[in-house]
Amino acid sequence: MKRLLDKINSPLDLKRIDQRSLPRLAQEIRQEIIDVVSETGGHLASSLGAVELAIAAHYVLDAPRDKILWDVGHQAYAHKLLTGRRKSFRTLRQLGGISGFPNRGESEYDVFTVGHSSTSISSAVGLAAARDIRGTNEKIVAIIGDAALANGMAFEAMNHAGHLRKDLIVILNDNELAISRSVGALSRYLNSILQNPVYNKVHTDLEKLVKKIPMFGLTTYRAARKFERGVKNLLVPGIFFESLDFRYFGPIDGHNIDLVINNLRRIVKLKGPIILHTITKKGKGYKFSEEYPTDFHGSYPFDKMSGEKTAAGKKVATYTSAFSEKITELAAERKDIVAVSAAMLPGTGLNRFAEKFPERIFDVGIAEGHAVTFAAALARGGFKPFIAIYPTFLQRAYDQMVHDVCLQDLGVVFCLDRAGMVGEDGATHNGMFDISYLRHIPNMIVASPKDAEELKAMMGLAANIDKPFSIRYPKGGQLFGIGENMPSSKVELGKSEVLKEGKHVVILALGSMVGVSLEVAELLSKSGIDAAVVNARFIKPLDRELIEELSKKFSKFVTIEENVVSGGFGSAVLEFIDRENIKGIELKAIGLPDEFIEHGKREELMRKYNLTPEGIAGVIARELFDRQPV
Ligand SMILES: Cc1ncc(C[n+]2csc(CCOP(=O)(O)OP(=O)(O)O)c2C)c(N)n1
């Protein structure tokens, strides 16, 4: 039988499908998502959980005129399939293909480019304010998960929406999970709603009652609402949403398409901020993602039959696992070591710590700003906090680092996993700005290890230094270009390591680019260029002594880093040369360009941005030596 999905090129085609056939369509969409993600990898479990919500939203609303905002956007694969990207869906997350998140450049149905959590209600309020000034009447709907709702930004936006009383709808996609368990008092509160049958019955009865008395319309309805609030006050502790001036509907089964459609049809007609609470199952419709939603949150490619990750996703030794080992070891030795995560226990490797030291782990939820100030206060309270976080998400906590950690010179350790290019998650997730946003904050130490052993050594050093200390390391395997840990000298604060002597040029390489630089040196030697290679280790404090010494021997310097060149490690070296008035140095700063970098395989992107050994050797040979590389 021909698939219904194959007829859908836009939401208009969806609307032509009989409502009774929509469950079949949901089934087909699920299968398509499983088929594709098993090959490309991606956010399987969240997307499977939001299929009916996407269908219902597009069935009832009139996008792109009406605005549908997906929070984080990792659950929007069904939305993509329904909005003209059915044919390109197989290129998901691949270089030149469609993004794994809503992206304005990709489709007019993607209202906001996203990837970071908890922006949808703010965007909805802003779009509603713009609409009202303009005097148009499109509907604005934000779809947000229970974990994303617990972020400060979502709270701030609800507070504002309640104040402005704008017409907008928030669909809460509640599956009781973040990547792992949803944490926090809000999560407990949502749970209490689900477990309160009395309230649910009163709520439904009231609606039925009101609908039966059309003659009295608004007055009756208002009176009923007042009564309802009174009843709710008795039955639901807090009536959290209603207190913020949102009208609360639900909870309803978010996989029952008729129910979601009928509720949406009703509430789009209402005024003011509204929240529709839907209950969904993360990973719905695929045995393995239902059973292991955390493993299938962001998944590598997998075998559909067994659920096993295929070669591309097989576990290799990673920086994350080295971090995980070391933090557990440190905590076993020292009772003052505590760890903080913003809803990323599995991704950062903190779950092992969490199991071993449950009283010393703090998962604060998707709340990066809070995580940093909270850690500052843990340090102030006499503990040694390690925050494990992705640098792209730490961007959310810049002021907290400045004002709460560095200004007070508190001993918080920031372990920045996924620094550099992350590959398939693309522009919203690349960790390419952290050197620039960290190194200019007074008191902050910024380090980057060349391999996993060095990461452990740096963590050991950081544990014993009572200052803000950040360590950045890339996603995945230990070394790029070499394949195993290199012999290491002792890691000392602000000291680099000379790995190879040379005569003509010195390469100061950082972190992931150290292994690459050794290969660069080998390639250069074929062109008769003898390059020295230094493993910089510290961006701040810089190894001033070594740079001064090198400047007496070399007139050509190269810096290589996996960060934007603007404000990065190369800038730090240039600033030092300038400040110390060192003359006669020609410096080539190699790194990432001043642009957002799209999704694709990391290797492809490294090639595209010329950060391969061949690419870098070519640049050095041509630009510093006026030679064509061999
Ligand atoms: C600012 C920020 N922090 C962390 C993340 C990583 N992250 C992506 S999805 C997710 C969990 C989202 O849970 P929820 O909102 O409940 O949606 P679900 O996946 O359960 O549907 C997290 C922590 C992010 N995208 N943005």
- Is residue 47 in contact with ligand 1, taking CB distance under 6 Å? no
16: exposed, middle or buried (Cβ count in 10 Å: 0-12, 13-18, 19+): exposed
Asked if residue 442 has pLDDT above 70, the reply is yes
| Ligand 1 nearest-atom number relative to CA 118 | 1
Asked if residue 215 has pLDDT above 60, the reply is no
- What single letter denotes the amino acid at residue 211? K
Using one digit for the tens of pLDDT, what is the confidence trace for 327-337?
Answer: 999 999 999 99
* Dist. CA 147 → ligand 1 center (Å): 7
- Is residue 345 in contact with ligand 1, taking CB distance under 6 Å? no
Testing ligand 1's pocket by substitution, the residue of 70, 72, 348 carrying the most ligand atoms inside 8 A of its CB is 72
Residues in the chain: 630
- Is residue 463 in contact with ligand 1, taking CB distance under 6 Å? no
Testing ligand 1's pocket by substitution, the residue of 71, 114, 117, 277 carrying the most ligand atoms inside 8 A of its CB is 117
* Dist. CA 254 → ligand 1 center (Å): 19
Using one digit for the tens of pLDDT, what is the confidence trace for 273-309?
Answer: 999 999 999 999 999 999 999 999 999 999 999 999 9
Using one digit for the tens of pLDDT, what is the confidence trace for 556-605?
Answer: 999 999 999 999 999 999 999 999 999 999 999 999 999 999 999 999 99
Q: What are the φ/ψ torsions at residue 295 (nearest 5 degrees)?
A: -60, -30
Identify the pLDDT of residue 238: 36
Using one digit for the tens of pLDDT, what is the confidence trace for 120-169?
Answer: 999 999 999 999 999 999 999 999 999 999 999 999 999 999 999 999 99
How big is the CA angle at 56 (ends 257 and 365), to the nearest 5 degrees? 95
* Dist. CA 180 → ligand 1 center (Å): 10
Identify the pLDDT of residue 481: 53
Identify the pLDDT of residue 237: 41
- Asked if 389 and 344 count as a contact pair (C-beta separation under 8 A), the reply is yes
Domains of the chain, CATH where assigned: 5-177+252-291 (3.40.50.970), 319-473 (3.40.50.970), 497-625 (3.40.50.920)
pTM of the model: 0.93
Asked if residue 37 has pLDDT above 70, the reply is yes
Q: Output the six-digit token pair for 584.
A: 């006669």
Crossing angle between the packed helical segments 613-625 and 513-526, to the nearest 10 degrees: 60
Q: Output the six-digit token pair for 508.
A: 């100061």
583 is catalytic: no
- Is residue 393 in contact with ligand 1, taking CB distance under 6 Å? yes
* Dist. CA 152 → ligand 1 center (Å): 13
| Ligand 1 nearest-atom number relative to CA 43 | 19
* Dist. CA 496 → ligand 1 center (Å): 37
- Is residue 366 in contact with ligand 1, taking CB distance under 6 Å? yes
Asked if residue 34 has pLDDT above 90, the reply is yes
Using one digit for the tens of pLDDT, what is the confidence trace for 468-508?
Answer: 999 999 998 755 555 567 778 899 999 999 999 999 999 99
Q: Output the six-digit token pair for 330.
A: 């440190």
| Ligand 1 nearest-atom number relative to CA 74 | 9
Residues sharing a CB contact under 8 Å with residue 284, sequence separation 6 or more, in sequence order: 30, 48, 49, 51, 255, 290
